[in-house]
Structure 1
Amino acid sequence: MHNTLVSLIGAPTDIGAGARGASMGPEALRVAQLGPILETHGVHVLDRGNLSGPANPWLPPVDGYRHLAEVAEWNRKVHEAVYAELRVGRLPILLGGDHCLGLGSISAVARHCRDAGKKLRVLWLDAHADFNTSALTPSGNIHGMPVACLCGHGPQELTGIGGQVPAISPKWVRQIGIRSVDPGEKRFVHEQGLEVFDMRFIDEMGMRHTMELALATLDANTHLHVSFDVDFLDPDIAPGVGTTVPGGPTYREAQLCMEMIADTGRLGSLDVMELNPALDVRNKTAALAVDLIESLFGKSTLMRA
């Protein structure tokens, strides 16, 4: 991964979330020295600063969606910013913000892959499948819907971002660490054929085997996108998220996951989502996230050359 050109893009909004505070995520990652730490690995880091978008009006849902117009505007801005970095050969790291922004980010990566004639593989590291629709979720919080929207299920304002509906095929997605799925969402995930490695699978088969399957058939023409929701991690080690679900990967399991992604040499873009410093303990979740991102860029905790 040496001589990689990385661009940090802050998206300070909690517009799609059910709790306030993810808007402070980008700054917490900067306080935890994300840029300087990556630079110690020979990565050239450019911090593009923060995108700006509509404030969070904190209103109840309308027709099944909370803040749909604002979510759409934020995602359009994220889409354009991520796409611009990919076009000039840089690796964008989106600093969230809540996970609804994965829609703008991944639709941009998919558009770039169409331009470049590349295959796309999306690793969705999350406690949640985020495959809800307004019909399936009573909350209307759009951070539970981005994967469904990317696969063409959702309001046109969201599914159309990036110019092609659906933006991606469910077959390109591997979900890892899932342990909280609504009943209706579970049926929908099965119908759509998403490949899900839930915590039961990881418990039974181990993280190594899980990642071997999730990364299988990557080739030189594959762009690997990692969408890392910090609630993927066990809340004992990562309390700073709005939607904690007990029983997530341990520190070592998460490190192995990141190291095996790094070993592929295919990482092309990254989202770091749902970090909520308002719920954190002395920024420890941000520091852990930075530690894991460092592993994605080649820090191995093992004594290997």
Structure 2
Amino acid sequence: MQRPAVSLIGVPTDIGAGHRGASMGPEALRVAQIDQRLARMGLDVRDRGNLHGPFNPWQPPHAGYRHLPEVAEWNRAVHEAVHAELREGRLPVMLGGDHCLAIGSISAAARHCRERGKKLRVLWLDAHADSNTSTITPSGNIHGMPVACLCGNGPAELTGIGGRTPAVAPEVFRQIGIRSVDEGEKRLVREAGLVIYDMRHIDEVGMRRTMEEALDGVDADTHLHVSFDVDFLDPSIAPGVGTTVRGGPTYRESQLCMEMIADTGRLASLDIVELNPAFDKRNQTAKLAVDLVESLFGKSTLIR
């Protein structure tokens, strides 16, 4: 099987987050040598540098949203950059940045799928469901809203990115590792019919069965997008995030998750988001994230 050509796209902003610091995530991943590590695996890796957008004004919410104009501008830039790489036949890896940026990257993947007649499957690896709206959000932080916005439940500035509203249907998502859902959000995810494999599910059936279920139906016509929020990981191994939630996947569970995705051979686009070096210890979370991304691209102990 042909190895993918990979393009790294840095998006240095914490515009949608509740803590400063995710803007430093792209550089932390580069310090952890993400480009060299993937290149050593035989991949054609190009670092496209960083996108540019408005500074974080650090203002309170307005009509239920913090920094909506700035979030929209950053996501439009992400959308165009990711779509351009997909159009060239390359695999875009977005180095975030906070998770609001997935509105841009996933809407780009959805647009690409419409153009190529492919099915989209999104694996959302996260501690949070990220399905809040302006009326139920406790904070107004848009990094808690990207799934809702992608499914058409949000402001037009975000739901219309990519030229179609909604950008995707809820059934494209498989959310894995969820363990923190706000009270009002619980009703919304149920009404939307989102498929969620929370930590209780993983505890009961194990990561192998969970991933088999999440990947069921992925075939040669599927564009597989992985949106990897680093707070998916248990904070005992990944402290470098702004929104830690105890009880996440262990190192080995996380490795198995990535290895089983790699086994499909269908990975076509990737987000790495919410890495916050301000909370990290000697860049250990960035190094772990890169380690897991190597597994996602097929690194394994034995030839399989």
TM-score normalised to the size of structure 1? 0.99
Q: Within 2, Cα distance between the matches of 1:221 and 1:87?
A: 16
Quote how far apart the aligned CAs of 1:107 are.
Answer: 0.2
Cα deviation digits, residues 132-174 of structure 1 (max 9, x gap):
0011112100000000000000000000000000000000100
Give the Cα separation in 2 of the matches to 1:61 and 1:108. 27
Q: Which residue of 1 aligns with 2:155?
A: 155
- What does residue 175 of structure 1 align with? 175
Shift of 1:304: 3.6
Q: C-alpha offsets along residues 15-60 of structure 1, whole Å, 9 cap, x if unaligned? A: 0000000000000000000000001111100000000000000000
**What root-mean-square deviation, in Å, do the aligned CA atoms of Structure 1 and Structure 2 show?**
0.7
Confirm or deny that 1:228 pairs with 2:228: yes
Residue matched to 1:86: 86
Give 1:2 deviation, angstroms: 4.7
Residues 60-110 of structure 1: CA distance to partner in whole angstroms, max 9, x if unpaired? 000100000000000000000000000000000000000000000000000
How many aligned residue pairs are there?
Answer: 304
Aligned to 1:296: 296
Supply the distance in 2 between the matched residues of 1:14 and 1:57 (Cα, whole angstroms): 10
Tell me how far apart the structure 2 counterparts of residues 94 and 211 of structure 1 sit (CA, whole Å): 23
Distance 2:142 2:260 in 1: 30
Using the TM superposition, give the Cα deviation of residue 3 of structure 1 relative to its aligned residue in structure 2, in angstroms: 3.0
Residue equivalent to 1:282: 282
The residue correspondences of 1:125-274 to structure 2 (distance < 5 A) are 125-274=125-274
> CA separation in 2, counterparts of 1:184 and 1:57?
28
2:169, 2:4 → 1: CA distance?
28
* Contact 1:2–1:42 (8 Å) recurs in 2: no
Task: Tell me which amino acid in the other structure corresponds to 1:77.
Answer: A
In structure 2, what residue type is equivalent to 1:132?
Answer: N
| AA at the equivalent of 1:90 | R
State the alpha-carbon separation in 1 of the partners of residues 298 and 37 from structure 2.
Answer: 12
Find out whether 1:62 has 2:65 as its counterpart.
no
What amino acid maps onto 1:237 in structure 2? Answer: I
CA distance in 1 between counterparts of 2:295 and 2:210 reads 18
Amino acid at match of 2:78: V
* C-alpha distance in structure 2 between counterparts of 1:178 and 1:273, whole Å: 16
Measured in 2, the distance between the counterparts of 1:37 and 1:304 equals 18
In the alignment, structure 1 segments of 5+ residues that lack a partner are none
Matched residue, 1:123? 123
SS at match of 2:128: coil
User: Please, which runs of 5 or more residues in structure 2 have no aligned partner?
Assistant: none
State the distance in 2 between where 1:177 and 1:19 align: 22
1:196 maps to amino acid: I
Counterpart CA distance in 1 for 2:185 and 2:153 is: 12
| TM-score under structure 2 length normalisation | 0.99
Give the counterpart letter for 1:150 in structure 2: L
